[in-house]
Structures are given as structure tokens and as C-alpha cells.
């Protein structure tokens, strides 16, 4: 089967893949909708991210 030396790198690879897909899905749902998807609703599990909130957070951190 798989050596015990390879279990940790494979686990990190698996967790990284799941994280990348999750973050990418959130980013895609919060981006401008492609043609034909403008009227589609955002799924309940995807958080709403506003650009104004992100800009305000960056401005606050740079002022410190």
C-alpha cells in the first residue's frame, strides 16, 4: 500500500485540494455572474462578501 512516509504529504495534498475548491467556489459565487447566470440565486452555504467591507478592512489595517 502506501508507505507511512507518504501519508502526511498525501493528507496535506488532500486537505489543500478541498480548501482550494471551497475557496474557489466562494469566490466564483461572489463574482460577477457569467451570461445566463445573472438571475440565479446564491446557495445558502456560500457567505456574502462585499467589496466595501474588504476595502474598509484593508484601509483600517494600513492606518495602524
> Tens digit of pLDDT for each residue in 17-39?
999 999 998 888 777 776 777 77
The answer on pLDDT for 60 being more than 70 is: no
pLDDT of residue 25: 87
pLDDT of residue 6: 84
Higher per-residue pLDDT: 45 or 60: 45
- By the 10 Å C-beta count (0-12 exposed, 13-18 middle, 19+ buried), 9 is classed as exposed
* Mean pLDDT calculated for residue range 32-55: 74
pLDDT of residue 37: 72
Task: Give the helix/strand (H/E) hosting 49.
Answer: none
Angle at 50 (CA atoms; ends 45, 55), nearest 5 degrees? 140
3-state DSSP helix/strand/coil percent for the chain, to nearest 5?
Answer: 60, 0, 40
Amino acid at each position: 500500500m502506501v508507505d507511512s512516509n507518504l501519508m502526511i504529504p498525501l493528507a496535506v495534498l488532500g486537505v489543500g485540494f478541498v480548501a482550494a475548491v471551497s475557496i474557489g467556489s466562494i469566490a466564483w459565487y461572489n463574482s460577477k455572474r457569467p451570461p445566463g447566470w445573472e438571475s440565479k440565486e446564491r446557495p445558502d452555504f456560500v457567505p456574502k462578501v462585499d467589496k466595501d467591507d474588504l476595502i474598509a478592512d484593508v484601509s483600517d489595517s494600513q492606518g495602524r
